[in-house]
């Protein structure tokens, strides 16, 4: 653009539309929304939906809703699965973030690498329907790398692993571009499901996803053998249907996670093996950065280091890394122009 294009403009808002959590960043105010990507609504017999709660409040209703009240995630595997409710959720969050009244915002949204044109259009349409003047798209791994302060502008190899709710994305980045990216359908939600299944198989007990998530966070570890400790968990007996409690150890919770963790480690090793040889020394020098909520799993840094044989660093605040990268993008018009899809 440069000389004749006049002043480049950045954007007003950035949305990290995650499978588990949505964050909205305003150029002037920083992070203004940080809530679960959940929406609760009533559906009548004609299929009309009436939204009753979004975010934290809606998450409290998951698994506890009577009859025709539905609470769920409109995104799956990082992409919009239910367009109409995703649009409503986005509208709600954008409205909440709105710090001005006169002008429709220019909104940047990040997407998992390699999504289809149809998925891109779904997000654009949802953003426009939600009140955006314009919707710009950027790659999520790029936002993750920028948020983790990796020098994406340098002709050097950067490797970032984003362990989110629905997927894990492993990317190699150099000079504002994604050199290689691999995504696996394993993330925090899959870990929770694995714990649910483990407890059903070993104890004939059905526990909820949210109880499993709590076990993962308090007792789960990426290290074989766990971190020690145990906890009581309540559920419903698979046979009798009656409530019952069991005691479960950190080693058991961690064992439940092992096969899903291995899918992530294998993908990360493949990415390293396939990296262009010129980029490998940089990766070894600067280390692999891990972001996303899954990076907070106990022992992740140590385990990844031993699995990959390269230095590994957990991003400073993994649940915010992508949003911080997006913040840099909306504040810097040149950068935004370079990375917009
Ligand atoms: P997304 O970008 O897909 O919305 P996030 O990066 O927000 O996902 O990560 C959400 C996931 O991180 C959830 O599955 C959550 O259980 C998990 N998570 C959050 N904190 C921790 C923790 N301390 N240990 C392990 N997992 C965690
Ligand atoms: Mg994410």
Which of 20, 222, 325 maximizes ligand 1 atoms within 8 Å of its Cβ, making it the mutation to test the pocket?
A: 20
- DSSP 3-state assignment of 62? coil
- As a whole-number percent, the residues of the chain with pLDDT over 90 amount to 72
Q: Which ligand is nearest to the CA of 319?
A: 1
The pLDDT tens digits for 283-339 are: 998 899 999 999 999 999 999 999 999 999 999 999 999 999 999 999 999 999 999
pLDDT at 4: 46
pLDDT for position 1: 42
At 229 the pLDDT is: 96
Say which range, 61-65, 71-75, 188-192, 214-218, has the weakest mean pLDDT: 61-65
Ligand nearest to the Cα of 165, by number: 1
Q: Ligand 2 centroid to 227 CA: how many Å?
A: 26
Residue 42: count other Cβ atoms within 10 Å of its Cβ: 14
In this model, does residue 5 exceed pLDDT 60? no
CA-188 nearest atom, ligand 1: 14
Q: Which ligand is nearest to the CA of 190?
A: 1
Q: Please report the atom of ligand 1 found closest to the CA of residue 166.
A: 3
Q: Residue 318 CA: which ligand 1 atom is closest?
A: 6
| CA 20 to ligand 1 center in whole angstroms | 7
Comparing 143 with 103, the larger pLDDT belongs to: 143
pLDDT band at 102 (very low <50, low <70, confident <90, very high): low
User: How confident is the model over 124-153, as a mean pLDDT?
Assistant: 93
Q: pTM higher than 0.85 for the full model?
A: yes
Surrounding residues of ion ligand 2, Cβ less than 5 A: 18, 164
Rounded CA separation 106/14 (Å):
9
Q: Which atom of ligand 1 is nearest to the CA of 22?
A: 4
- For 41, residues 6+ apart whose C-beta sits below 8 A from its C-beta are 49, 50, 51, 52, 69, 70, 71, 85, 88
Query: E strands of the chain, at which residues?
Result: 13-17, 21-26, 30-36, 39-43, 49-54, 69-72, 75-76, 79-80, 106-111, 134-139, 158-163, 168-174, 177-184, 205-206, 230-237, 243-249, 288-291, 312-314
DSSP 218: H
Give per-residue pLDDT as tens, 175-206.
Answer: 999 999 999 999 999 999 999 999 999 999 99
Q: Give the per-residue pLDDT at 47.
A: 78
Q: For ligand 1, which residues put their CB under 6 angstroms from it? A: 18-21, 164-166, 188-189, 213, 216-217, 292-294, 296-297, 319
**Token pair of 187 as six digits:** 């993330």
Q: Contact 94/130 with Cβ under 8 angstroms?
A: yes
Taking CA atoms only, the protein residue closest to ligand 1 atom 6 is 292
């Amino acid at each position: 653009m440069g000389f004749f294009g006049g002043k480049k403009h950045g954007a007003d808002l950035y949305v990290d539309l995650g499978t588990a959590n949505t964050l909205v960043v305003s150029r002037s105010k920083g992070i203004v929304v940080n809530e679960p990507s959940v929406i609760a609504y009533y559906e009548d017999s004609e299929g009309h939906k009436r939204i009753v709660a979004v975010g934290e409040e809606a998450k409290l209703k998951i698994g506890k809703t009577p009859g025709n009240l539905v609470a769920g995630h409109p995104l799956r595997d990082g992409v919009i699965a239910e367009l109409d409710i995703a649009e409503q959720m986005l509208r709600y969050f954008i409205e909440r973030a709105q710090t001005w009244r006169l002008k429709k915002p220019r909104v940047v949204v990040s997407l998992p690498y390699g999504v289809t044109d149809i998925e891109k259009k779904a997000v654009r349409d949802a953003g426009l329907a939600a009140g955006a003047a314009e919707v710009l798209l950027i790659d999520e791994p790029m936002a993750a790398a920028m948020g983790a302060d990796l020098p994406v502008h340098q002709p050097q190899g950067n490797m970032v692993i984003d362990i989110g709710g629905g997927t894990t994305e492993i990317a190699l980045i150099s000079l504002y571009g994604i050199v290689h990216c691999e995504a696996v359908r394993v993330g925090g939600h899959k870990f929770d499901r694995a714990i649910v299944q483990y407890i059903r198989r070993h104890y004939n007990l059905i526990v909820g996803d949210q109880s499993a998530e709590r076990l993962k966070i308090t007792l789960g570890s990426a290290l074989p053998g766990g971190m020690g400790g145990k906890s009581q968990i309540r559920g419903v007996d698979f046979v009798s249907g009656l409530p019952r409690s069991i005691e479960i150890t950190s080693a058991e919770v961690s064992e439940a996670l092992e096969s899903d963790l291995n899918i992530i480690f294998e993908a990360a090793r493949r990415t390293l093996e396939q990296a262009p040889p010129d980029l490998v020394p940089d990766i070894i020098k600067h280390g692999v950065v891990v972001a996303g909520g899954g990076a907070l799993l106990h022992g992740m840094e140590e385990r990844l280091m031993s699995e990959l044989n390269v230095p590994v660093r957990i991003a400073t605040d993994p649940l915010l890394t992508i949003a911080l990268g997006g913040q840099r993008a909306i504040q810097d018009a040149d950068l935004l122009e370079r990375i917009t899809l």
